[in-house]
């Protein structure tokens, strides 16, 4: 639920960003209609570039700048989503994970022979916290 809400919020914010770029294109006279400006803006922001629209000659570098800004914003949004997911899982799962890891380690330890069941290390003796150094 939390991740979905953040994803929806980021999509709305990216839509607002595209609308601001479209408004700039209209105010500068780089495109003629609001529909063209919005389509070009979304197309440039996502670096798709398949709309077939081009800015007037004098403003063509703005499209490239919007493409760079769009890639950076999507990258920042992705990093933010992963940060939120990490926090969510770190807060909700540490007690369960620690208990589960402790149980798995206890089950893996061969108490009778003092060995960890690790392939290739069957003949080396291990103490509780690592190998025995001779």
In this prediction, residue 127 carries a pLDDT of: 47
Alpha-carbon gap, residue 5 to 58, rounded angstroms: 40
- The list of the chain residues with pLDDT below 50 reads 121-129, 134
Residue 96, pLDDT score: 55
The structure tokens listed for 108 are 């893996």
**Cα–Cα distance for residue pair 133/130, rounded to 1 Å:** 9
The token duo for 20 is: 């601001």
Sorted by where each begins, the domain ranges of the chain are: 2-92, 94-134
Give me the pLDDT at residue 126, please. Answer: 47
Q: DSSP state, 50?
A: -
Integer Cα distance of 86 and 93 in angstroms: 10
Which ranges of 2-133 does DSSP label H, i.e. alpha helix?
2-28, 34-45, 60-92, 94-108
Q: Provide the mean pLDDT of the chain.
A: 78
Among the four given CATH numbers 3.40.30, 1.10.287, 3.30.160, 1.20.1070, the one describing domain 2-92: 1.10.287
Verdict on whether the full-model pTM lies above 0.95: no
């Amino acid at each position: 639920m939390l991740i979905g809400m953040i994803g929806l919020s980021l999509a709305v914010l990216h839509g607002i960003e595209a609308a601001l770029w479209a408004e700039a294109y209209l105010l500068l006279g780089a495109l003629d209609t609001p529909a063209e400006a919005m389509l070009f803006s979304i197309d440039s922001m996502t670096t798709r570039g398949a709309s077939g629209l081009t800015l007037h000659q004098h403003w063509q570098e703005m499209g490239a700048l919007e493409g760079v800004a769009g890639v950076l914003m999507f990258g920042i949004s992705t990093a933010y989503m992963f940060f939120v997911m990490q926090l969510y899982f770190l807060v909700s799962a540490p007690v369960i994970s620690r208990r589960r890891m402790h149980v798995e380690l206890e089950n893996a330890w061969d108490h009778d022979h003092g060995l960890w069941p690790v392939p290739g290390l069957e003949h080396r003796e291990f103490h509780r916290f690592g190998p025995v150094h001779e």
